[in-house]
Chains A and B, each alone.
Chain A
């Protein structure tokens, strides 16, 4: 194993981990603040990718037909921003239908509604667009740079930079703004905080909206990196990001992002050393081992989180 080969994989792992991290953030926010699993989240990622596809195709059409002359980079930025914005409404709707009516129900029931909404999103997509796979339009020209024998494409740089930028922005939002602080307060105690004038009916949709927006960014970036979309693309990546989110630890949103990157690294490096068919086996064995020794994740503290019936 040479040095360059190693760094090549670091780059790949950073990119792959970015997707997990972006999705895991949404899981972790809902989980930290509302103590719920949002099992529809992987499918929101998928929806975000499809919305990104629609937005990108539309914008490109406008540009090529000469209707609105936009530079290429602006198309890219607009695609990400508009997709995030539109997908955040999907998140709000999911909260409204699947979670708000169940706020006092056992948490496991809400997990089931999330699972079902996920299936509805997949099937709805299938019904609307059919079973054919879509090709994500190429928004940037692929370029490859060589740095000391390591090949880095501009797409990978874009994915990693945008992801990290969004994470930092989220971190600032949660730390500095009024709403962010309200969210953090809610994550400590969602019995008392509503008594202080912070309404859970505002915080919950906001949480879902932000989480969905991040997932949409992940979806668009995913579409740029791997331009084939299908309605079931969100399932496996979503469940794995869910694992990362919990691995990060409750109450630690950034922990989820780090765990997302960690999962990306584990997967890529396992595939580097062993045959790629063993990837899931070894990656999840590592997850299992981590949770056996740190039963409350990396940054989580022991707490009694029973799925109360």
Chain B
């Protein structure tokens, strides 16, 4: 029964490999950058619709036809035409790539993806910011999924890890390379800072994972609910600690981070994050997390070092949360302790459970979906915060573990050539 649902739509879109979709999207974005401006003028739109016209539609209902036509003519029709016409060629290419080493094929796809995002972001600074925040959200969601999904704990400490990372990275860059009110003159020339930025981020991740020990060590003795409280207490402690550290600005926050979190930087870090986490959870060592979650005593009896496993999960998750925090600080270029409070916690938890537990692809979908939704519904003002929770409740009721839960993220499977679905008999 389930197979038959949306059969026609699915059949219509089948037969195009990932490469085709990516190139199609690139084509559409290219089209937009070439003719977007005159085109939106013809359709009576004030400027290029930033988010697929949704924001404009919600703001000014009179512009709905124009925005709709824009999306149709710039995105939908070109992509569909492109993918259908080139399906054969794309499949041929995907087949060729499939025979080459996976890293090469993956890198090529990622390159196309990057250029698509870059070109799309060139239209407005808002889009650029949105993409960066989305990539950071992916890192956060995925790293929390390692703890809450793969290992099945209910950790509330993620904002704390982020805060540690954000502050460590900020102190590293602001303190060493910037002239600043708090830290005085730059110790090193800013020119080399850009190249040392990764070291600052890794440091941020490392400090965050040391902080994770505070939660990981009690997890040897206690589980579930009590660990939730311990992690929550940890989050409050970190926030309060930073508020009381006048060296880093206390409650007023810390600003003046250099603009080093460029799109390529954030993109590369996000890819690294997805890559290592996916590698980890697909290895037997990473699957030990699932064994600990599902039946800890059996895992222990089957030679799994449960303490080490828990420690790795917490520290690894915190590491990426720290890096994401560091990047976030350099994207926003201002942080204060309030950034990493209960609201952030609710947001990250929502993304994880919305996208799907125990699933890399679920986390990506969750983070991107949540952020897009949140931005698109912005014109609704506070009603946004009724619609999004209602949607999440519905997701929880109908898919209690999230949209795409317990799925393997098989890159080869995603990239391989696709056959056209058969006509229904």
Q: How far is the CA of A115 from the CA of B349 in the complex (A)?
A: 9
B264 within 8 A of partner (CB): no
Report yes or no: B224 in contact with A112, Cβ–Cβ below 8 A: no
The segment from A98-106, A151-159, A218-226 found at the interface with B is A98-106
Q: Is the CB of A116 within 8 A of B393?
A: yes
Give A253-309 interface residues, CB cut-off 8 Å to B: 277-281, 284-285, 287-288, 291-292, 295-297, 304-309
Which residues of chain B have C-beta atoms less than 8 A from A235's C-beta?
342
A112 to B148, CA, bound (A): 12
Docked complex Cα distance between A122 and B384 (Å)? 12
> B188 CB to closest chain A CB, in angstroms?
33
Return chain B residues, CB-CB under 8 Å to A124.
386
Q: Classify the secondary structure of A's interface with B.
A: helix
The answer to whether the Cβ of A70 comes within 8 Å of any Cβ in the partner chain is: no
User: Digit string of A108-127 for contact with B (CB within 8 Å is 1, else 0)?
Assistant: 11111101110110111011
Give the distance to chain B from A97, nearest Cβ to Cβ, in Å.
7
Tell me whether B218 and A239 are in contact (CB under 8 A). no
**CA distance in complex: A106, B401 (Å):** 7
A167 on the interface (CB 8 Å rule)? no
Check if B396 is an interface residue, CB within 8 A of chain A: yes
B170 to chain A, nearest CB (A): 20
Q: Which residues of B contact A120 (CB under 8 A)?
A: 385-386, 389-390
Chain B 273-297 interface 0/1 with A at a Cβ cutoff of 8 Å (1 = within): 0000000000000000000011010
Could you say which interface size class chain B belongs to? 35 or more
With an 8 A cutoff between CB atoms, is B123 at the interface?
Answer: no
User: Is there an interface contact between B229 and A307, defined as CB atoms closer than 8 Å?
Assistant: no
Judging by beta carbons under 8 Å apart, are B218 and A246 in contact? no
Contact B239 A280 (CB under 8 A): yes
Which residues of A lie under 8 Å from residue B353 when comparing CB positions?
108-109, 112
Q: Is A247 an interface residue (CB 8 A)?
A: yes
Q: Is the interface of B mostly helix, strand, loop or mixed?
A: helix
- The answer to whether A111 and B386 touch across the interface, beta carbons within 8 angstroms, is no
Q: How far is the CA of A124 from the CA of B383 in the complex (A)?
A: 8
Q: If the complex has contacts A109-B400, A127-B382, A309-B401, are A246 and B214 also in contact, measured as CB distance less than 8 A?
A: no
Nearest CB of chain B from residue A262's CB, rounded to whole Å: 14
Task: Determine whether A243 belongs to the interface, using a CB cutoff of 8 Å to chain B.
Answer: yes
Q: Is A250 an interface residue (CB 8 A)?
A: yes
Number of residues on chain A facing chain B (CB within 8 A): 52
A287 touches B385 (CB 8 A): no
Chain A 122-165: CB-based contact to B (< 8 A → 1; otherwise 0) = 11101100000000000000000000000000000000000000
A31 to B239, CA, bound (A): 27
Nearest chain A CB to B367's CB is how many angstroms away? Answer: 15
Whether, in the assembled complex, B26 has its beta carbon less than 8 Å from a beta carbon of chain A, the answer is no
Q: Are A116 and B392 in contact (CB under 8 A)?
A: yes
- B400 with A106: CB separation less than 8 A: yes
Q: Which residues of chain A come closer than 8 Å to B232, judged between CB atoms? A: 239, 242-243
Mask of A28-44 contacts with B, CB within 8 angstroms, 1/0: 00010000010000000
Q: Let me know if B99 is at the binding interface, CB within 8 A.
A: no
Q: Is B153 in the interface zone, CB < 8 Å from A?
A: yes
* Residue from A277, A296, A309 within 8 A of B222 (CB atoms): A296
A-B contact pairs, 16 of them (CB 8 A): A106-B401, A111-B154, A113-B396, A116-B393, A117-B393, A119-B388, A120-B390, A127-B382, A236-B342, A242-B229, A246-B225, A277-B243, A281-B237, A281-B241, A287-B233, A309-B149
**Can you add 17 more A-B contacts, CB < 8 Å, to A109-B396, A246-B225, A296-B226?**
A37-B225, A102-B400, A111-B154, A116-B350, A119-B389, A124-B386, A236-B342, A243-B229, A247-B229, A250-B225, A277-B243, A278-B244, A280-B240, A281-B236, A288-B237, A295-B221, A307-B224
